[in-house]
Structure 1
Amino acid sequence: MQVLIDQMGTSKVAIVESSDIVISDVQGALDLMASVRYTYGCEKILLNKSNLAEDFFELKTRLAGEILQKYTNYKVRLAVVGDFDEYDSKSLQDFIYESNKGKQVFFLKDKQAALHALHSIA
């Protein structure tokens, strides 16, 4: 796993690059958050969809809810980049739609849109 920092003014985004699954459970999400926060001083993280376990996108597992609640509690913002149209779950599509309306978590198709969303919030 490699972490690159994208900085715009005082806003810093940690871009996680890996060919492996980085988050497969709540503890993995907490470990990533702590590592990025304390090593790089970032409270904004950009991940590729492929870095999340497929269970994350199966809402009945509650993995997404638990992870995103932890990130919200610790005031860490997250953007996930990928094609989410492959999922035909209406619940997941609604979850993604509602998330994108907020300022905490974003599910976007490309890296530039994700960086813009993360840098746009204080």
Structure 2
Amino acid sequence: MEIQKLESDGIARIKSDEVIIKDAASMLDFVMSVQYETTYRKILIDKAIILEDFFDLKTRLLGDAFQKLVTYQLKMAIVGDFSMYSENFKDYMYESNKGSHVYFVATEEEAVDKLR
């Protein structure tokens, strides 16, 4: 896992070749590690570091894990292509993007804009 600090925006940009977030506990471990190492409360990640099962709302992994972000007042933007997912997921994504903790976006530039 590589952490880049986008210092002017107070954003931690995480890059990894492996799946890091597999459940709510690993989400909490991940965000706490990033916050400890950077002191930043805004995290930008690629969709690829999240277990694919997260994007199936029936598993409830997404809601359980993202509740940790809300509890600890953290923000996360997830960059990727979400077009292949169910309409229910797209509705979840739409509502989430209107909020203030988790954003699903197509580009890193959009992610930075959302997290500012």
Do the two structures share a fold, i.e. TM-score over 0.5? yes
The answer for the alignment partner of 2:90 in structure 1 is: 93
What is the alpha-carbon distance in structure 1 between the residues aligned to residue 10 and residue 25 of structure 2?
A: 23
Alignment of 1:1-122 (within 5 A): 1-8=1-8, 11-87=9-85, 89-119=86-116
What is the alpha-carbon distance in structure 2 between the residues aligned to residue 42 and residue 32 of structure 1?
A: 13
CA-CA distance at 1:103 after TM superposition: 1.3
Structure 2: stretches of 5+ with no match in the other structure: none
CA-CA distance at 1:116 after TM superposition: 1.2
What is the alpha-carbon distance in structure 2 between the residues aligned to residue 109 and residue 6 of structure 1?
A: 18
TM-score (norm 2): 0.96
What is the alpha-carbon distance in structure 2 between the residues aligned to residue 90 and residue 12 of structure 1?
A: 33
What is the alpha-carbon distance in structure 1 between the residues aligned to residue 24 and residue 65 of structure 2?
A: 6
SS of 2:7's equivalent? strand
What is the alpha-carbon distance in structure 2 between the residues aligned to residue 78 and residue 108 of structure 1?
A: 11
Identity %: 39
**Residue identity opposite 1:37 in structure 2:** Q
Structure 1: stretches of 5+ with no match in the other structure: none
TM-score (norm 1): 0.92
What is the alpha-carbon distance in structure 2 between the residues aligned to residue 67 and residue 56 of structure 1?
A: 9
SS of 2:10's equivalent? strand
Aligned pair count reads: 116
Moved over 6 A (4+): none
